[in-house]
Amino acid sequence: MNGLLRVVVRSFLVGLLPAVGSAPILAQQPAPLPGGVVPAAMPGRQVDPPAVMLTMENQFDQKTNLADLRGSVVILVYGDRKGTEACRALGEQLHVSWHPDAKGLPPGPAQKAAVVPLGGVALTQPQPDVRVVPVACCGKVPGPVRGAIRGQIAKGAPEVPVWLDFADTMKSAFGLTGGEPNMVVFDTAGRLRMKVNGTPDQATLNRLVQVVQNLRYEAVK
């Protein structure tokens, strides 16, 4: 098993999470779109959407909150257990795309890799990070089963927090295609700006990269 695969296996919840093909995603330096980004899932919107309030727990029995990630562009990659290989591949593509120095590192150091700088933005300015967060859609299960799932995930991913959805929150709020990867993108203020249900094709992946990069530019205006 090569180093990159080890990072993905341990960091993005092998055995429990949502694969797209191996076509590369490149976080290059696209020019910012004039006027920011219109949410892909909400065409024609003329005002910013409200910030999303989203709380769960992780495998360490800690509360997690989307608000704690303000200042970064956040991509939640979520799916059911049948989407394991899909989410693993997608998580690899996304994280390494914006954090190329993470390639080949163990999970802990990989999460600390520097984000790709924005072209045309002074390095002395803040460079908004891109946080790719795995979310395991576990379903509404009894307490003892929750504990078993939590322990299993903690054993497989001891360094990287994995959000656990025991209330079908992701499905009800954003939709979920079973057995495939799903994604939602939030800007640095916690507002929903794009969502993808089901396996994305290359055009969708390219669009996602463009949206995320422009959200980063938008944040430093």
Is 3-18+49-114+125-219 assigned to CATH 3.40.50.720?
Answer: no
- Express each pLDDT in 157-182 by its tens digit: 898 899 999 999 999 999 999 999 99
- Express each pLDDT in 49-99 by its tens digit: 789 999 999 999 999 999 999 999 999 999 998 887 788 779 878 999 999
pLDDT at 72: 98
pLDDT at 196 over 60: yes
- Which of 159, 101, 105 shows the shortest CA–CA distance to 134? 159
- Express each pLDDT in 5-57 by its tens digit: 333 323 332 333 333 333 344 444 433 333 233 344 444 445 677 899 999 99
pLDDT at 150 over 80: yes
pLDDT at 92: 79
197 touches 177 (CB < 8 A): yes
Owner of token pair 């463009």:
210
pLDDT at 46: 55
pTM of the model: 0.79
Q: Which helix (H) or strand (E) holds 85?
A: helix 84-98
Domain ranges of the chain: 3-18+49-114+125-219
Q: From CA 14, how far away is CA 152, in angstroms rounded?
A: 11
CA dihedral 31, 104, 188, 183 (to 10 degrees): 90
- Express each pLDDT in 119-139 by its tens digit: 999 888 889 999 999 999 999
